[in-house]
Structure 1
Amino acid sequence: MTRLLGVLWLYVCTYCVLALPAAAQEAAAPPPQPAVLVADDVYIRGDDTLVAEGNVEAMYDGRRLRARRIIYDRAADRLQFDGPLTLFDGDYTVVLAESAQLDRDLQNGILYGARIVMDEQLQLAARQIDRKDGRYSQLYKAAVTSCHVCADGRPPLWQIRARRVVHDMEERQIYLDGAQFLIMDTPVFYFPRLRLPDPSVERATGFLTPSLYNSTLLGFGVKAPYFIKLGDHRDLTLTPYLSTETRTIEFRYRQAFRYGQIEFNGALSNDDLGGRKNRAYVFGNGAFELDNDFVLRFDIEAVNDDAYLDDYGFSDKDRLDSELSIERVRRDEWIRGAITHFHSLRPGESNATLPTIVGNANYERRLFPRALGGELRFSGEAHTHWRSSGLITDGPDFDVFADGRDVNRISASADWRRTWTLIGGVRSTIETGVAVDHFEIEGAGATSSASLTDVTPSAALTLRWPLAKTTARGVSHVIEPVVQLAWVGGDTPNVAIDESTRTEFDEGNLLSLSRFAAPDRRERGMSAAYGLSWARLNPSGLSGALTVGQVVRDRAQREPNGGLTFSKSSGLRGEYSDLLVAAQVETHNGLAVTARGLFDSAFDTTKAEARASWRNDVTNIGATYIWLGRDVAEERPATISEWAFDGSYRFARHWTASAEWRYDVASDRNVKAGVGLKYTNECVDIALSASRRFTSSTILSPSTDISLTVGLRGFSARAADKSYARTCRN
């Protein structure tokens, strides 16, 4: 360290002596900061030449250079380097050369036998590099590639050779003249002029990775996305899709604002596949921060042909919803207002008889009064939905709706809750409240009253007894039995069910006073809910959870006409609910299993679903099973039993295989299947995929799709995962 400091001090003194005359003549201007030089030997030759030899390292203005020898000629104000030399220029560029002549600031000069490596990805090699103003690097007879170049003489997988290459470090662009694209030394394309972004650029105008497609519906075609940078905060991507059966232009527009962002995706097609020759869709969304913590959001979904999204694979949604909302969420307050437009793409559903426009306004507030203790909660809701149909009778479908009924509802409630800890650690919670619902119905016909107000008081007592134990190995076990006794007053109002047509019974609402989806129905009478939960927590091994529960009532929930309110498959239809069983298992090696089911008194399945997945560094596999019994009230005329598989497996360093499959067990037929194969290394991505849709309907036909995508890595595509990179053999 003493020798190093001595060398540094010798250089600083020498530089000051050499620069003293110039400093005396230009006393008004401060001299430039000297470079820092470290070397094994530093000496002065003659009067104007400084020589540094052996492990030389020079640093100036954020740039660092290493070389075997550096000679500084004060008269010419120029540095000569004997290599091999390495120049670290900025945050992401490294220059390697055999020798160089540069000015004192390392901004201008010539490098011989040089190579530029940008962001540890892209390499530019040339016989000579001219540097100018510290901004431009001009290469002659250059080669550009992001593939590993080994010393055994084998050509890289791909490269671009050009007569001249200019790298603009300020604009971060690479310009090529007379460029040839080669694969394994074989010329494939020729470009008189070519501009490419360097790897540090995240957004630059130009073409993105193209793809080849072959579809039984759309024929053989190519997609060539073109990205347009409209500024620092806006961009537009246009993707022409030309095939034997369609002429399509896809688009994506994005814009960021100071307090929000928007994005629109869409397409316009000209084909002969559907009822319309010109088909189009647009999806858009955005969010904006307003004053007082409010957030404004919008979501637009529109299409002019019901089969368009499925035919082109844009989306698998069969009901579109467009919404405008404003919301504020605070610790003890929630405010939200929204208006939503629905459009169904399902065959057999009429948009005239489905609620088309739905409006909601919600308010919820929590208070903690000292006099009462506990928590006091107030909530209010205004709801309306409108149908374009003017019919007042029910049509021949699965709905229980009047085809033209429009509903307006106002609901308000006040609830108080307080919890105590009793002897032995039992947690006791008392809650009570009252709710008021007022309905105004147009076009009700004989299905319900035109105007009605309903008052619903409620009270409940909940007891929990959490028991915990931790073993010597650090594994925690928590067992919690729970029971709830509840009473809900009032009678079922004479209004038709429009909002609560689907009810899900799970561990999340086991202790709810009403399990309906909306206040147009509430559970009435006395009830008891009981359950048991067990959890095993092991930070380094097997963890799991199990929940079992059931609800018992003094009477079944019935409509004013005497019919049962809950659907057959809801699990809540009679005095005794179905038995709810839910379980979860996780292991430290990435295996996770989740299952939930409802079982009747004979332990026959009412509903069941399960999901298993295994994820690690090379594997991501998942399987899902769902079983739903026949239920006309839920628009399900037949039993649904389906398997779904999806996954990927990296079976070699550069190869990854993927697959998906959906199988309808009830109908004994395939629904959808697909396979994919991807090759990735440090300089290329190649993806090949094939998929088959087997289902058909009045607007959909079975189809097979094949796609091929080849992407070159290194140009505005940083490779964060280095595990795919190849290495040269020793």
Structure 2
Amino acid sequence: MAEGRFQETGRLRRRLLSMLLALLACGAGLVAQAAPAAAQLGDLDSDEPAAFTADEVNYDDVLGVVTARGNVEITQGTRILLADTVTYNLKTEVVTASGNVSLLEPGGEVVFAEYAELTDDLAEGFIRGLRVLMIDDSRMVGTTAVRTEANRTSVRNAVFTPCELCREHPERAPLWQLKADRVVHDKEERMIRYKNARLEFFGVPTFYTPYFDHPDPTVDKKSGFLGPSFGNSSFQGSYVDVPYFANFASNHDMTITPRLSTEQKLLLGIEHRILFEDGQILTRATGTRSDLQPDQGERLTNVFRGDIDQSARFDINDYFRAGWDLNRSTDKNYRRTFGFGDENRLTSRGFVEGFRGRNYLGANSFWYQTQRSGESDAEQVIALPTIDANYVSEPGVAGGYYTVDANVWNLTRLEGRDSKRASAITAWHLPYTSPMGDVYRFRIGVQSDIYWVDGHDPSNPDDVDPVEGDSFTVARAFPQVSLEWRYPWIGSVGESSQIIEPIAHAVLAPRFGQNDDIPNEDSVDFEFDDTNIFRPDRFTGRDLIDTGSRIDYGLQYTFVSPGGLFSQAFLGQSWRPVTEGVFAPESGLADNFSDYVGRVFLQPIPEFDLSYRFRADKDSLDLRRSEATLTAGVPAFRLSLTYLSVEGNEDFLEDDDSTGFPDREQIRLSVGSRLSTYWRGSIGATHDLVDDETRSVSASLYYQDECVLLGFNHTTEFTDNREVGNNSQFTFFLTLKHLGNVAGG
């Protein structure tokens, strides 16, 4: 083996590496994945030392040519160049490499060529038989690659694919590939242009365009059209979305999406994004003119319909932030009809909040818009404002600490009662673990409230807009002492562990009924279950208070094995000496002894999960509420079952459901399967067992491999939407790796 070490050869090594890297960047322009490789061109240090070896090195003094032959290897940093022959002409300053040329990049990309040539100043270059293997196994080939003006690189007869070739028949075309007669990368303009581009699936051309261009991988974003979306619905007919992306600045852009449909007029959607140094504002808005079927009255024609979602967040300093959320729609059915959402209520708010240590201070304002038929926006609560402050002290004597949770709100309605409240819950907590291992939590606290209420009827507290409302000023103070005790017993069963944990919770507090002069705004959705049985106050808010003394007790059992088996069960009940005027009859807490509440979770093997929560009548053990979720099976066949049963209010009337709620029982069944390595699908349905009606059905099918994702979804909802009746939607999407996606629905 011979080694050559002289000045010209050192320059040859560095320039040749730079040349091949530049041409690699040309090929990389076909895919975004190769962006790092393109960026590395400017980072190549021409002064970095290079190791050079070859079987033979000759220098022709007359011609001024240095020639290296046989197993030529040039290493510079982490780049390695291999070739059969490398020459450097000192007079013309041209570098050439031929015969099994390959360049290994630091990122793992490999460039192959039959022949490569480049001038010393990197302005002109040529590669024949170009092949590029990306780090993710994507491939690009071209017959020739030419570099001109130190700026433009052109690849002829380029072919790119990220798909793997069939191992048994590698001569077959891949699943998809992109071909072009010529691909030009303009580094100065940072653009890549294609001439006569064809997209092929299994070797069959499916899409052709004589010309298109896009920014190169060094461009973060640029104005231009995005991939279209297609769809069909009974209300809109067939439609197409053609989004246009407008880039105003690095921190400011907008996507404008017109929707053209066969049954309705033009719908325009806008997504606007702007970032600031300390915040951001994101806005989505849509609008059109179409027919409208209101809850009451005749169908309207050619009316403006639309919606807006806006979110803003700003950091004031290291501790405080502020912002708002704006969510509004012109009518209740707009979002469901046009496929923009199915919320039952839209919430808008503005806020300022601060965090410091374990303490919190926040001011919020809320504005609601109902999407439910039969409800009035005029009777929805408007909070202007609600202020919360939470303080937690440092641990003091014996580990005890103080908490203060204060709240002030002003609730108003366009039609109906108004309520102002100032409330504070001050408490002292003492946690303690005895030498025997039992755990105690002692708490003593007092809740103080004062209300100013206008337009409230105490005889009919559920009516927010009574015919005869009155004004009240009410104050109250509610002290409470509680002690929780847990004693976990841990034992072994072979290599498994089991924990038996009795739990008791005693509460001492004065007994008095709920004050009807205080409207219930924040404790409407009370549900007695295993999650709140041991809370000092089991209501969700402060308007209703859990008065009187009581004892809560329960038993929890946990079993864990090294093989993965995990199971847990809990059963609990509450007892109070006096019951008058505290909880509603259907709550499960109306009598001295409450209903039983519990949960069961079982996972004997990773392929089986069962969770069940319930509330059972204390006397008959009839189930008042049941929630069960079962998931079982292997990827080839996996079943999911969800069951919900809730006993209704005895006072419910079919023609006036404001006096209660009916029985509810439904089941949701879905089956999923990984049909093969690449295919998976699922089907599901929701059935109302009370009315014996199917509420929704759905089906999906997906294909995914290393270069493509294809999906189909179908959903039919049997709803009471007066505008469109039963709502059926079909969606599909196709994503090609590196090229983007096309979607529809």
- TM-score when normalising by structure 2: 0.83
Could you tell me how far apart the structure 1 residues matched to 2:567 and 2:121 are? 64
2:578 to 547, 551, 555: 555
Equivalent in the alignment of 1:517: 540
Any residues of structure 2 matched to 1:335-484 within 5 Å, and which? 335-357=361-383, 359-368=385-394, 370-371=396-397, 373-389=399-415, 404-422=416-434, 424-447=436-459, 450-469=472-491, 473=495, 475-484=496-505
Partner of 1:725: none
CA distance in 1, matches of 2:344, 2:646: 19
Which of 249, 255, 273 aligns to 2:274? It is 255
1:250-294 Cα distance to aligned partner (Å, 9 max, x none): 332333333333322232233335446331111122322221412
Distance, in Å, in 1 between the alignment partners of 2:6 and 2:178 is: 45
Residues 409 and 439 in structure 1, CA contact (< 8 A), matched pair in contact too:
yes
Residue by residue over 1:300-342, the C-alpha shift from the partner in whole angstroms, topping out at 9 and shown as x without a partner, is 1100021011112211101111111222334421222110001
By relative contact order (CA 8 Å, sep 6+), the higher-ranking structure is 1
Q: Which moved more, 1:85-94 or 1:590-599?
A: 85-94
1:115–1:199 Cα change, 3 Å: farther
Structure 2 match to 1:712: 736
SS at match of 1:237: strand
What displacement does 1:486 show?
Answer: 0.7
- Give how far 1:200 is off: 8.0
Q: Is the counterpart of residue 625 in structure 1 residue 652 in structure 2?
A: no
1:46 corresponds to which residue? 60
- Whole-angstrom CA distance in 1 between matches of 2:580 and 2:442: 24
Deviations 1:133-154 (A, max 9, x none): 7764311233344444678543
Task: State the distance in 1 between where 2:573 and 2:663 align.
Answer: 24
Structure 1: which 5+ runs fail to align? 20-30, 390-403, 559-563, 718-730
Within a 5 Å distance, the mapping from 1:694-713 to structure 2 comes to 694-699=718-723, 701-713=725-737
| Structure 1 residues 214 and 537, CA gap change in structure 2 (3 angstroms) | same
Secondary structure, aligned partner of 1:565: coil
Equivalent residue runs for 1:536-551 within 5 Å: 536-538=559-561, 540-551=563-574
Aligned to 2:462: none
Matches of residues 67-146 of structure 1 in structure 2 within 5 Å? 67-88=83-104, 91=107, 94-103=110-119, 108-118=124-134, 120=136, 123-132=139-148, 136-146=152-162
1:370–1:152 distance in 2 versus 1, CA, 3 Å: closer
* Matched letter for residue 393 of structure 2: L
Which position in structure 1 is the counterpart of 2:590? 573
Residues 539-558 of structure 1: CA deviation (Å, up to 9, x unaligned):
65112222221111112251
Match of 1:285 in 2: 311
Q: Following the alignment from structure 1 to structure 2, what is the Cα–Cα distance between the partners of residues 245 and 690?
A: 21
Q: CA deviation at 1:426?
A: 2.1
**Separation (CA, whole Å) in 2 of partners of 1:105 and 1:592:** 67
Q: 1:159 Cα shift?
A: 3.8
Rate the CA distance shift 1:664–1:658 in 2: closer, same or farther, 3 A.
same
**What is the identity, as a one-letter code, of the residue corresponding to 1:115?**
R
Q: CA deviation at 1:482?
A: 1.1
| Larger CA deviation: 604-613 vs 90-99 | 90-99
Deviations 1:462-520 (A, max 9, x none): 221122235663x4332221111111225232323232111122333221121112111
The offset of 1:412, in angstroms, is 1.1
Consecutive unaligned residues in structure 2, runs of 5 or more: 14-44, 294-299, 460-469
Asked if the contact 2:663/2:690 (under 8 Å) is kept, the reply is: yes
Alpha-carbon shift at residue 706 of structure 1 (Å)? 2.1
* Mapping of residues 162-181 of structure 1, within 5 Å: 162-168=180-186, 173-181=191-199
Contact 1:39 1:54 in 2 (8 A): no
Letter in 1 for 2:85: R
Q: Is 1:535 aligned to 2:558, yes or no?
A: yes
Counterpart Cα distance in 1 of 2:140 and 2:530: 61
Q: Shift of residue 600 of structure 1?
A: 0.9
Contact residue 327 and residue 348 of structure 2 kept, 8 A: yes
Structure 2 matches for 1:615-694, cutoff 5 A?
622-631=640-649, 632=652, 637-646=661-670, 648-694=672-718
Native 8 Å contact 1:15 1:34 kept in 2: no
| Distance in 1 between residues matched to 2:588 and 2:70, nearest whole Å | 83
Give yes or no for the alignment of 1:604 onto 2:607. no
Q: CA, structure 1 residues 126+427, in 2 after alignment: closer, same or farther (shift >3 Å)?
A: closer
**Kept after mapping to 1: 8 A contact 2:48/2:77:** no
- 1:498 equivalent to 2:521? Answer yes
Q: Is the 8 A contact 2:257 2:269 kept in 1?
A: yes
Distance (Å, rounded) in 1 between the aligned partners of 2:439 and 2:687: 46
Change (3 A) 1:14 1:499: closer
* Offset at residue 707 of structure 1 (A): 2.9
Letter in 2 for 1:692: T
Would the alpha carbon gap of residues 306 and 121 (structure 1) be closer, same or farther in structure 2, given more than 3 Å must change? farther
More displaced 10-residue stretch of structure 1: 672-681 or 642-651:
642-651
Residues 254-263 or 304-313, more deviating? 254-263
Q: Do the aligned partners of residues 230 and 453 (structure 1) sit closer, same or farther apart at CA in structure 2, a change above 3 Å counting?
A: same
TM-score normalised by the chain length of structure 1 = 0.84
Shift of 1:201: 6.9
How far has the Cα of 1:163 moved from its partner? Answer: 3.1
Is residue 86 of structure 2 the alignment partner of residue 56 of structure 1?
no
The whole-number CA distance in structure 2 between the counterparts of 1:86 and 1:489 is 86
Whether contact under 8 Å (2:227, 2:740) holds in the other structure is no
Structure 2 partner of 1:561: none
Query: 1:662: how far off?
Result: 1.7
Change (3 A) 1:193 1:410: same
1:169 deviation in Å? 6.2
Q: Does 1:508 align with 2:531?
A: yes
Alignment partners' CA distance in 2, 1:467 and 1:711: 54
**Percent of aligned positions with the same letter in both sequences?**
25
In the other structure, the counterpart of 2:41 is none
Work out whether residues 531 and 547 of structure 1, in 8 Å CA contact, stay in contact via their aligned partners in 2: yes
> How far 1:113 sits from its partner (Å)?
1.6
What amino acid is aligned across from residue 280 of structure 1 in structure 2? G
Change (3 A) 1:556 1:683: same
CA contact (8 A) 2:289 2:304 kept: yes
CA contact (8 A) 1:618 1:650 kept: yes
Contact 1:131 1:138 in 2 (8 A): yes
Contact 2:383 2:409 in 1 (8 A): no
State which of 285, 289, 296 in structure 2 corresponds to 1:270. 289
Contact between 1:181 and 1:190, CA under 8 Å: does it hold in 2?
yes
SS of residue paired to 1:309: helix
Structure 1 Cα separation of the partners of residues 251 and 492 of structure 2? 53
DSSP-derived class of the 1:493 partner: coil
CA deviations on 1:323-380 (whole Å, 9 max, x unpaired) are 1122233442122211000111111112222324463211111124635751111121
Offset, 1:615: 9.0
Distance 2:223 2:637 in 1: 36
Aligned equivalents of 1:287 and 1:590: distance in 2? 42
Report the secondary structure of 1:689's partner residue: strand
- 1:455 CA displacement: 0.7
The DSSP-based 3-state class of the residue aligned with 1:425 is coil
1:393 alignment partner in structure 2: none
